Each structure stands twice: as structure tokens, then as C-alpha cells.
Structure 1
């Protein structure tokens, strides 16, 4: 299933005008979830096309013309007890606000967006469009389990010249998803010489334009049999920064867990932050610092990427300048597996949420 355009009926919008935000929920055209499942492919496509359209949003604006927009990715998870909970929506809302401010547009109030995310999940749940918990998901540590992907994004007012948005919308939609990476593909990564972000740029903002180069590189890498592409720093092409859409971690031979330190070229990932907290709680020594490709290839025994979509996903090898280096025995490492199980266990309600990350409605 991964990402699809099967958007849920309830959509949230907020519009900034006259120094304030006006919120509303829009119930897009829909049948019951059972009735929709019985539609023909053509009928379903027609309905979803209508649902994926908000007429008040202008076609020509600073977002569609110049990429002056940002977005978030949050998730809600079916719980073992039958409920649904959202994972750290407060963090997504704060990052969205920071991204909007970074693009010099009015920033949405984080608490307002957090409550909107939760309310949207509630409304779509009441219509029966969200997934329910399945015990068989536990068999593979929830790697193919369903969840709700929630996408808040900014959208600019009409404009065709170079400019910034002073009266943006924030729109929040959602859809059901499963695993992010393609099943059956080996977890090999290609270290690219392309550049994702530069010093003094927008690498720390979750903005639309940041995803152009990573998407192109990742798709080319997939054609060559790689699951992921890894980016080095722009200045020296020496230090590892991120994957195509995810942060990255390394377990060294001495047991230390290392992840590149945050800066203006690295996105402050919420799953990244959570994994750091989990590892420290387990007594693992965690370092946030620069780490070179040479150090990784000589000293790393485990490597994994993190993100809302990726969760905790191990990488079996790096291919750098034509040479492949395998980490450990090529299978998921002990610490990676423990972190993966713990994070997924908390998210799906089979383990105690002692950090207070899961928000209910």
C-alpha cells in the first residue's frame, strides 16, 4: 500500500488573514468505507479525484511556481486495545511552525495544529476509514503493519512573481499506509556524490524544494538495485549527513551509537529524536557529531535510517565509489532490532509508553 492518494474524507484547513488564523474542517465527498470498497476501479478513481481537490486553493501561487512551501508527516497507529493514537503530533506541529517561519511566512500556532491533527484522525475514524489492529502484525515487528499517514502542508496565496507568502493556508489530509520501502528489495544503499543541502541553505527546513534532488537520486539508485541513497556534506564530500528522506545512525565496534549532529543541512527528525531518547534510556552511549564515510566503512557494525515513513530500517551495506561494504553479517543488527521493536511496540500499544509520546482523542 505504501503512499496512496486514497485520501480520507475529512480535511482540515486554516487560512491566515488579517493577522489571525481561521480554521475549518471540510467533509469531502464520500460513501461509507464498505461501499467505497465495492466500487469499480473507474468509480473509485472518480470519487478520489473529487476528494483530492479543494477548489479554494489557487493553481498559480508561490508554492506551485517556486516551491515556497513546507510540509509534515505524522502518523496515527491502531492500538492493541482497539483504539487509535497519534505519535508525537506536538513535535510535528512545532517543526511545521518552525519551517513556515524559516520560509518567512506567518507560522501556524503549534498547539492549534496539534489539536487539528488529532481531531482529523478522530473524525475519519468515526466514519470507519482508518485501519484496525491485527495481531499478525506482531509476527514481523509491525514492518508491514497499517497506519494512518497525516500530511499537513502549507499552500500560498495567488502569485506569479518571486515573492514570499504572507497569507498562506495550512491544509491537513490523511491516508492509510503500510510499509515505506519496497518489499523484497535488498537493503543496500548507494553513497552518492550529489548534494542534498548546503551550508546557509534550507536543509533544516522540511520544505518542498529539499526533496527534488533526493527523489531524483533515490529513483536512479533504485533502478540499479539499491533501496536507499546516502548524501555526504556539500563542502568536503567527506561527512555523512542523511538518506534521501531520513536521518541515519551507526553502531560502532565499541557499542557507541552515532548520528550526524544537527545543523542547517540536516533535518531535525522526530523519529531521530525518539531513537536517541530510547537508546539513552537503554544505557547506550549516544553521540551526535560529524562522522566521516571513512570512519563508517572501517568502524560501523550496524547502520539504520529513521523517519516517520521509514521507522527504523536497517541498511545491510554501503556502495561507495564502486565498492560495496557490508555491515556485520548483512542482517539486521542486535541494537537496531531492539530499537525497532521498542519503537514499534510503543507506537502500536504493545509496550508501555513511558515517554508519553502517544496522543489519544
Structure 2
């Protein structure tokens, strides 16, 4: 709970740290962003990969350049496919510890296949002593951005590390945004002080099948929210995620009378129409109490169960995800407690680990 509740304060410190390093960041990035054929790859494993899925649409729009979100688990297992184009490439690696085997391997494979002259690395991580930070800290083609010390979560599930690295990415590429950080901090402080009991009650009446839906950047958030619940309950709650439009194309078969659907409603007026459409449809199918919305305006609640986060209506969905996910974090925590799991260590037998184990990195030269 401490690592969930500390997030507004951590974000404030993060924003100050990014601004303190702004000149160095711009010296590193500016020449790269001037390249008309630059490819930016946002990567990480698990929750860290979902940061890229959330941020990529927003960055592609603001930077007017190609931004791909590709997990390290895909880059490492299929490197010749994902590094097939000989283009100037900025590999942005997100990692809480930087000790996952795929983290280092992805950066090595990029250089092996594209050549160091084409590859630059931006490492966004929470652990200054992690392998990824240590490897790239003194390389000329790399720049390491460290999160505040508090963001290096001690618990099993990533919470403040996830939101801090997401916001760091947006602040690094889109520039200073004090208004967004202040608005997000205020909204989340309100959630933690005024809404936690409501979230706890929702967790106690929820069944064992939860679906998260979101559009655009919020599809990545739906994926992260589903994983958070699955992790914190040690798999006792079955979770699913999809986009608002994609859900109808087969995955809707997952719902039954015991399903709870949580919909993250976009702040974009056009996109939100599709979110509201699926909310209305699912409430006809399941009943109002089985579909909950999280939105930034009363229209997003569709006159039925939901929470409205005030003061965030002007934010892009990628920023909004940092506030929305706090609902998912709290919901996962209270579901875990209800089921008698241990949120800080839901897998005491070590079947699933905080830092992944059991991965063998195979040399690419052995198969070429």
C-alpha cells in the first residue's frame, strides 16, 4: 500500500529531476530527433513493456516520427525480424531493476544487427546498481535516466515504478508539463483519500473474472491492469483485456453473469464515443452493476456505476493512464487481501519471481 500511496510525491520529485537534467537530455536527443528516418523503439518486459504500449501512440503524434512499442521478450526471441531495417534507431529501454536477462540482451542484439553507428540507447530505470544502468551509464551512445529512489518498488508488483517511468518518458520527449503533474498528483491524492473504500467494496463484490477495456493508449493500460490483478491474486482471479472495438470480435465470449468489466474512458471526445458504446452494450447484456467506468467527465459514466476524475479532462490519455492505473492497483490489492493472498509476495514458493528467472539467452551467431 505504501508504494501505491507514495506516487503523487514521487511524481513531483521525478518532474524536478527531469528538469534538472533537461540540458543533458536535449544534447543527447536533439541530433537524433532531427533525423527524418529515425525509428524509436520503446521496450521492456512485462509491465515495463506496457509503458511503451501506452506512450507510443502519444509520442508518434507529438514527435511526428515512427514510434514502435516492442517488448524485449519479442526483440530477444525474434531479433532479425524486429531489427530488420537499417535505420537510425533509438532504443528506449524501461526497467525497474534492469536485471531481467532480456534487458541487456535486447540492447546487445540491436547493436549486433544494426551496428553501433545506427543505435542509440535511452535507459529509463529505477535501480542505479542494476545491470542495465551499469552497462549503459558510461557508453557514448547511451543516456541513463534514473527514477527517484522511492520508485524502485520493493513489492512484487510494479506500481510507482510503472507510473514514474511512464511519466518520465512523456516528460523527456514532450517537455516540461508542470500542469499535468500537478493535476495528476491532485487527482490521485483524492482517489487515495476519498475513493479507496469504494474500491475496496467493489473488490469484495467482484467475482473471479475481470475484464479491462480501453482504447488507444488505454489498451496498454487495460493490459497492465489485467496483469496487476492476476499477479496480486496469484492467479485466483482470471483477467482479460482488450480495446473497446476489438472486444466484440470474438473476445466478448469471455463474459458471463459473474464477469465484472472495467472500462477506461478516453479523454478524447471522438475516441470516447466508442468506449461509451461498448459500455452501453455491456450494461444491456450484463446489467449496470457489472460494468464500471473510470473517466474524466460525467458523460463517461453513462448514468451508471463509475468514477469521474476531476481536473484531468485536458490531458492526453498517456498522461491520464498514470491516474487511472491507481484504481487498478488498489482494486488488485483489495482483491488480493480478500482472497487471502500476500500482495507483497503473492508467490512465496517462487513459481513467479520479481525478477524473472530461468531465461537462457542464446547467442545469435550460433544460428546464423
Q: TM-score, normalised by structure 1?
A: 0.31
Higher helix share: 2
- Looking at secondary structure, tell me which structure has more strand per residue: 1
* TM-score normalised by structure 2 residue count: 0.31
